Amino acid sequence: MICPRCDQDTAEKLVDSPRGQEWSVYLCHTCYFSWRSTEDESITDPRFYSTKFKLSPDSFEKMLCIPPVPPLKST
């Protein structure tokens, strides 16, 4: 399956809804983008996914590291 975000053929169905076939969740193993089958085709279809959010595998190496999650504030 083609990933809407990175256009790589590395996406697959991750899970189906627990009851019936209400929805499915898909995951790309290249860019780790995930989406539900019930989302608009502007999210699910690579042809309609916004180019400003597209990523190419070449750009992954140039990205900064993911910022760490700060500790929770105590209440």
Report the predicted TM-score, pTM, of the whole model to 2 decimal places.
0.79
At 61, the pLDDT band (50, 70, 90 cuts) reads: confident
Cα gap 65→55, rounded to integer Å: 15
* Contact criterion met (CB below 8 Å) for 32 and 26: no
Domain ranges of the chain: 1-75
Query: How many CB atoms within 10 Å of residue 33?
Result: 19
pLDDT in tens, 4-54: 999 999 999 999 999 988 999 999 999 999 999 999 999 999 999 999 999
Phi, psi of 14 (to 5 degrees): -95, -45
* Contact criterion met (CB below 8 Å) for 55 and 31: yes
